[in-house]
Amino acid sequence: MTARAPLLHLDQRTVRKARKLAERAAAPVVELARTHTTTSVERAVLRLAGLTGADAEGIPWVNRLVDAVAADVGLEHGVALPVFDALASGEHADLATLAQKAAAGGAQFRLPAGVGHQRARRLAQRAVGAGIGRIDRARKDRDVMLRRLGDPPKPWIYLIVATGDIYEDIPQAQAAARAGADIIAVIRSTGQSLLDYVPEGATREGFAGTYATQENFRLMRAALDEVSRELGRYVRLTNDASGLCMPEIATLAGLERLDMMLNDCMYGIIFRDINPRRTFIDQRFSRQIHARAGIVINTGEDNYLTTADAVDAAHTVVVSQLLNERFGLEAGLQDWQLGLGHAFEINPALPEQFRLELAQAQLVRELFPHAPLKYMPPTKHMTGNVFFGYLLDAFFNLAGVLTNQEIILVGMMTEGIVTPFLSDRDLALENVRYVRDACAGLAEDFVPARGGFIAQRAAQVLAESVELLERIADEGLFTAIADGTFGITKRPADGGRGLDGVVVRADGYYNPAGALLEQAGPVGRPA
């Protein structure tokens, strides 16, 4: 986007200080990610190499093969060298055959040396490189469709469609696109982030969401391509890359040309009790994949305000956004890929609530002028009064237009009551379309008074953000998370799920995907 002239007159020295502090706070976490691997990172390597399918119990072959390698030689050197050394022996036709034999105890693994090491390395790089090449081609396909069909005007309208049944999701997603949605989000079945494997195939059951699988990705992408051609505009698809299989889901998203992925630095830690170390290691690899695939990430700061007070905790949202920015840029993401999240969650009974919301939204807009911010509608204070809920969503839509948010999630008047009916979605889409069209260009006239309420509130939140970043930079991000700084939920560094899947890299660790992703990938156009 083209950045507007700043309106809040923020102290730019304070802004620069905030970013420097975020970089210092992030540095030890980045070093952790660079010196460790996880079972899911290693499984993602095998997925890039082309290994698919699952056994009779539904456990993917990538899980079985990584477990077998770990049992024989550990994962300290990565999975690629032992696996491709075994393939080079000529005793196994392909990766799938090797995985099946390994699961049955019919294959043994070693760490190759000398000529064997070099041969295994070449084979691994070739196989994984083919997977990354497929991601590159998917990105080029998106660029071609964008050139042919064009983009809808911003703000993009983001709508959730997730019935639990992919074959029900598809017609609902197409209907939503025809009704004006620009981005379709197929959120995952509740609890999938706690599964340490990615289900296979198309799925027809799920609670409050649909399972994220490669086949479900493929089916929905094809359906949205069909409706994109019908409508003459490209309709984007998003899903979730978080939890215990974050690197694998990110990889599958790149392979199947998803356009956006929910990928936040702390959401899984705070709201799903995923181990902090596991999360940050998995996240760096995931974001490298997203960077290469041209995927826009959506971060989850809005969730903090469902548990913490939106006024008192406003600065924690900004701090998390600055950390997400730093982690994202370090992993190779560009500004246009940073869909940093925030939300319209201040209690509507609070005097001057709308002014407070405008101050927060404009502050975020000016701190990240080139990022396609994702603005979330009210949820916490939706009471079941659908008339008031519809009005509150209209105020949210107005705040989004006034402050030039680029991605606006559609608010539902039935939030927290029922899974939305198609009629609910139609009314919600009508609301956001009306405000967007009626107030088009109104942002040009929104000029907060210098030194006025909005400017002062923004400056206060920024100052509080710097103060918190100073503490985090000194004491460490893991300490801050353990203390309940974000979302008031305390998560110790050694607690949560998935710590047993964290492995310290040994000298000589080799990950062909990591080596290829560190290289400059295709730049392309902003997705």
Catalytic residues: 267, 302, 374
Who's near 260: CB < 8 A, 6+ residues apart?
183, 185, 236, 237, 238, 295, 296, 297, 298, 339
Strands 296-298 and 341-343: unpaired
Tell me which residue of 470, 495, 515, 504 sits closest to 32, measured CA to CA: 504
The residues pairing with 157 across neighbouring beta strands, listed in sequence order, are 408
Cβ proximity of 33 and 481 under 8 Å: no
Residue whose tokens read 């890039």: 48
3-state secondary structure of 81: helix
CA distance 356 to 367: 17
The neighbour count for residue 273, using CB atoms within 10 Å, is: 16
CA distance 343 to 234: 26
Who's near 440: CB < 8 A, 6+ residues apart?
401
Tell me which residue of 331, 332, 356, 329 sits closest to 344, measured CA to CA: 356
**In the structure encoding, which two tokens stand for residue 100, read together?**
């099946």
Strands 407-409 and 502-504: unpaired
